[in-house]
A and B are shown apart, each in its own frame.
Chain A
Amino acid sequence: MWTWFYRLASPPHFYFLAGKLSSWLLIPAIILVVIGTWGGLVLAPPDYQQGDAFRIIYVHVPSAYLSMMVYVTMALAGAIGLIWRIKLAHAVAASCAPIGASFTFAALVTGAVWGKPMWGTYWEWDPRLTSELILLFLYFGYMGLRGAFEDINQADRASAILAIAGVVNVPIIHFSVIWWASLHQGPTLSKLEVPSISGDMLWPLLTMILAFTLFFLGILAMRVRGEVLEREFQARWAQDVLRGASPMSAN
């Protein structure tokens, strides 16, 4: 069973696998997005309290979930790379960052757009939106630190440490922000609270979450392939692939 794992961690095998995997992931992802969007925009009934505006949930929540899941993945991959010295893990971590940051941005914008009809302004220092903003800073810090190192090994290890420190901190930050907000907010509901959700409102949400997850994995596969090719440039297999002399070069 472990040979499967070691094979996966071997760069040429991963390169090959990821090439196949990425279209197998992206196509279902896009299909699910279409289905989920249709379900959310058309099929789901309007909410009793928020009317049709609640439909933003179908893009906001999956984006926010992805932004956090990707960060945790990034930190986990960094930790694996640090502890077991698996270079592929570092490649995965590096590839996660831009994807996660873009969805954090999406979560922030969709959250703000949701806010306007709900509470009248585009921004309230709502604990969830504020936490997303801080998460965006964490991503930028990570990418900034990576870019500052010339040596890729140093970049890998330093950013892994940063990601781990960040991941430990995220719950602490989240709770302190919630606590801080609760002191200032009146008795009104948490603004972006999920409305009491019935079955026919729920399934499009779950579909979108699944879709976004598959999408992330597909894009990740694409990016990690590029990382691996670059990092393994000195290796024979990589040069063969680049020259078109390898069975994998077709991708």
Chain B
Amino acid sequence: MPVNSGTEATAGTAAEAETDSEAPALGLLALFWVVFERDLRVGLRRWTDASNSALFFVLVVTLFPLALSPRAEVLRTIAPGVLWIAALLATLLSLHLLFRADLEDGTLEQLLTLPYPLGWMLLAKTSAHWIITGIPLVVMAPILAITYHLPANALGVLTFSLLLGTPTLSLLGSIGAALTAGLRGAGVLLAFIVAPLMLPVLILGARATDLALAGADPTGPLYLLSALLVLAVSLVPVVAAGAIRVSAD
């Protein structure tokens, strides 16, 4: 299987580097890059999986005008909320991809045995995951928002808020993905566990866009979004590492 060569390469590189000398030979940055690059490669190879969530994003955004009203005044008002909700749902849908491949081919167990900080490696994995699943959302959102008649300034804030917010969503989601990694049929449970954690991001992102739409200053919520991102980057990997250890038992 093509995936295995990636697995062996990473685990091999890391393990080799370790057995060559007494101490682990990969510096933190190099380690990050090794894990990140490999996850990116594997994820891109299986791009059809990742595209599911992007398509879902488009689908949800399409449903609202159909169910509510295609009138510009209505769409403009609901655009911030709808786009942010769609982004959140699409992220939820993509989370199972984070650990699935590794659990299947045993890489996860190997990662646990390596003498490197697990949280750091998980951060690398989640970053790769975000590049593959989150960035498409950030790119597509302004295009879809145009169909909602969102004016240019609000478009910019929407995109920027998503840029700040989707990594946080991926990080928070990684906790849920780690907790439910071994469980069968854990999709809805995962969403249920993780969604409350994501609420502040949703509220801030939608409100920032709303403020821009109303001509007011959106910097407050945007600052808070960045603060949450920083908080997530520093705290989540530790929690996710603990969670993965539980699941891998």
Contacts and interface: CB of A to CB of B under 8 A. Distances in A.
A175 B204 CA distance: 11
B196 A137 contact: yes
Contacts of B150: none
Contact of B239 (A141, A144, A161, A179): A161
Contacts of B175: 161-162, 165
B247 interface: yes
Interface string B208-249: 000000000000000000001000000100010011001101
Interface stretch (A106-114, A166-174, A188-196, A238-246): A166-174
Contact of B179 (A137, A161, A175): A161
A177 B243 CA distance: 27
A134 interface: yes
B247 A141 contact: no
B196 A166 contact: yes
Given A154-B247, A158-B243, A176-B203, A148 B197 contact: no
Contacts of B242: 82, 161
Contact of B196 (A134, A154, A157): A134
Contacts of B196: 134, 137-138, 141, 166, 169, 173
Contacts of A158: 179, 243, 246-247
Contact of B200 (A82, A157, A176): A176
Nearest to B195: A137
Interface in B174-218: 175, 179-180, 183, 186, 189, 192-193, 195-197, 199-200, 203-204, 207
Contact of B189 (A145, A179, A180): A145
- Name the prevailing secondary structure of the A interface residues: helix
Contacts of A166: 196-197
Contact of B246 (A161, A175, A180): A161
A158 B186 CA distance: 14
Interface residues of A, number: 30
Contacts of A151: 249
Nearest to B197: A169
Nearest to A82: B242
A177 B202 CA distance: 11
B195 to A, nearest CB: 7
Query: Quick one: which of B175, B179, B180 has the most chain A CB within 10 A?
Result: B179
A38 interface: no
Contacts of A165: 175, 197, 239
A24 interface: no
A149 interface: yes
B189 A144 contact: yes
Contacts of B180: 145, 148
A176 B204 contact: yes
A162 B197 CA distance: 10
Contacts of B197: 165-166, 169
16 contacts: A134-B196, A134-B199, A137-B192, A137-B195, A138-B196, A141-B196, A148-B186, A158-B243, A161-B239, A162-B175, A169-B200, A173-B200, A175-B200, A176-B200, A177-B203, A179-B203
Instruction: List 4 A-B pairs, minimum CB-CB distance, nearest first.
Output: A176-B200, A141-B193, A157-B246, A176-B203
Given A161-B179, A176-B204, 9 more contacts: A82-B242, A137-B195, A154-B246, A162-B179, A165-B197, A169-B197, A169-B200, A173-B199, A175-B200
